[in-house]
Structure 1
Amino acid sequence: MSANRRPAVRRVDPRLEIMTETIERLVPGATPAFLSVTVTETLPDTTGHDGEPHKHTWTGPPQALAERLFTALHGRPRTEEPASPLAEAEGAKRRRDIVGEASALMSAGTALESAPWYPCRPGDIIHLHYPPAGDFPAFGETYLVGDAGDGLMSLQRLAHTWPEDWSDGSGSGFLVEGADCPIYDLWFEAGPHLLTVVRDGRPVHVGAR
């Protein structure tokens, strides 16, 4: 079963998670469940019955503030599982949306080629995550980008946590003997949201969690 055909599951955009965690860390060591954020406007040259300046306040949990910031920057956060570029293009094709089909593929290509870590380098580690679906638990595959010679790169499988039904190795077809971009099929068919790219021991691309 390919990654882009798995049922949707509820997810949180990692950018929203990062915003939330950053706000929570404003109080070192705090328990997130006990935190709240208060934004106060103090009106100058005004006083109340208590002799203090008039104030307007907003109070809410870190998550609420993070969601407001995220929406202002990126639009409302998506809670459904993102689709792979190929799945988006196929959906547009079924709707006879030629512009949408081309846009899905072109946008994915631009996102890949404009990534600060692109192109891949020999020694890069690529992790592919498969979300749980039906009777299948979550599992994954780990690949190594190798030097195939003549300026080309390969993609070799290092490890996997396949279900038993995949023990014959038929479950994945992302091995590459030599290509300019060995993760091209992974990027378009599985989707960048399911990929993690590690370079020199550091993650340089982390898909949705």
Structure 2
Amino acid sequence: METVNLAQIAQCAGVDRAAVVNWRHRHPDFPAGVAGTGGSPLFLAGAVEAWLTAHGKHPDGFTTPACRCGTPPDTVPALSPLAAADQAKRARDWEGEIGALTQGHQKLTTARWAPTRQGDRLTVTFEAQGDSPAFTETYEVVSSGDANWPEQNELRLVEHTAPSDDLAGWFAGSPEFSDGDAIETAWMEAGPDRLTLTRAGVVLHEGSHILPAPAEAEAEAGGTGGFFREGYIFSNQDGYTAPEDSWKFDCRHVTTTPTGERIAFGFVRVGADSKWAPTGLGRADWDRAPWTWATSDA
């Protein structure tokens, strides 16, 4: 049976991924996950379609041409603004060519999180081509160090999963336009569907055609991954902790204090029989336990 993930549901409903996460928590009748992991659950497309329609979130269902819900991610034609412009140019659609570039730029500059800031992290997904496997690159937004343009930022390559170092770092450096956003080149060339942008551990933008970054893949496989993530449930059950002493933390929001300390807010319970209670957990709490993504909130 066909399944969809959170990003696909968000795209169908015309909202961001965080909104879908909130629906899951606030609506008891939201469909339960049937596969995937606690951090990346999968849902039956038909059940989600019925729920969205019943709640007026997506009255047209999953069959609208503009909606990618219910389509396996590896078959989704995710054209970048530059690729869409090139396609229009080949069709001699000059208006479409200009429109693709203009809309791509406007979508970036009018995003609620724009402009990007120093410290933001961008992960780019590169799809498999021929004998080359799919891989990711993660960049950090840093100052360009240009004394003549002190406010200009650029991208610095942090890590990658490419089969060779020679293939990585394509978007490192300053954007093509001197006054452009640091991620503008990646946004226009790779396209927003292949990008994930985070700020202080909080996901600001998550495309529908992405691979997990190395840290996220580690967390999904049972590693730590760095810190709590908004919209996920974590457990400190390591196989040795008694069930009645194990914690589960439902992370709802991650923020950074003025002093730079990261705090995760949500609900926690100890043991399966206790009630959920509001709490805030910091770096010391994260480091104290072997937190992993939980497969459910049970």
Same fold judged by TM-score > 0.5? yes
Residue 192 of structure 1 pairs with residue 177 of structure 2: no
For residue 175 of structure 1, what is the amino acid of its counterpart?
A
> For residues 123 and 143 of structure 2, what CA distance do their matches in structure 1 show?
18
Between Structure 1 and Structure 2, how many residues are aligned?
171
Give the alignment's TM-score, normalised by structure 2. 0.49
Paired position in structure 1 for 2:126: 130
Q: CA deviation at 1:138?
A: 2.5
* 1:205 is the counterpart of 2:205: yes
Counterpart check, 1:64 vs 2:53: no
Larger radius of gyration: 1
Post-superposition shift, 1:61?
Answer: 4.4
Q: Work out the CA distance in 1 between the residues paired with 2:161 and 2:174.
A: 22
Instruction: State the one-letter code of the partner of 2:170.
Output: G
Alignment equivalent of 2:171, drawn from 171, 174, 195 = 174
List gaps (5 residues or longer) in structure 2: 35-44, 210-298
User: Quick one: structure 1 residues 108 and 66, their matched pair in 2 at CA, closer, same or farther if it must change by over 3 Å?
Assistant: farther
Q: After superposition, where does 1:1-209 map in structure 2 within 5 Å?
A: 13-15=8-10, 16=12, 22=23, 26-27=27-28, 31-33=32-34, 61-66=46-51, 68=53, 69-70=57-58, 72=60, 75-76=64-65, 77-78=67-68, 79=71, 80-149=76-145, 150-163=150-163, 167-177=164-174, 179-180=178-179, 181-209=181-209
Cα deviation code 1:95-129 (max 9, x no counterpart): 00001101100000110010011111111111111
Distance in 1 of aligned mates of 2:172 and 2:89: 27
What is the rounded CA distance, in whole Å, between the counterparts of 1:20 and 1:113 in structure 2? Answer: 24
Give the counterpart letter for 2:205 in structure 1.
H
Partners of 1:200 and 1:183 lie apart in 2 by 17
Q: Secondary structure at the match of 1:13?
A: helix
| SS in structure 2 at match of 1:128 | strand
Q: Secondary structure at the match of 1:100?
A: helix
Structure 1 residue aligned with 2:273: none
Shift of the alpha carbon at 1:62? Answer: 1.9
Percent of counterpart pairs with the same letter? 32
Shift in Å, 1:64: 2.8
Deviations 1:19-48 (A, max 9, x none): 887469844897545xxxxxxxxxxxxxxx
Give me the whole-angstrom Cα distance separating, in 1, the residues matched to 2:25 and 2:50: 11
| Aligned-partner Cα distance in 1 for 2:167–2:89 | 28
Q: Which runs of 5 or more structure 1 residues have no equivalent in the other structure?
A: 1-9, 34-59
CA contact (8 A) 1:20 1:63 kept: no
Q: Please give the TM-score of this superposition, normalised by the length of structure 1.
A: 0.68
* Paired residues of 2:30 and 2:51 also in contact (CA < 8 A): no
Q: CA RMSD in A?
A: 3.4
Query: What SS does the corresponding residue of 1:175 show, helix, strand or coil?
Result: coil
**1:24 and 1:152, CA in 2 relative to 1: closer, same or farther beyond 3 A?**
closer
Q: Distance in 2 between matches of 1:156 and 1:72?
A: 42
Bigger relative CO (Cα 8 Å, ≥ 6 apart) = 1
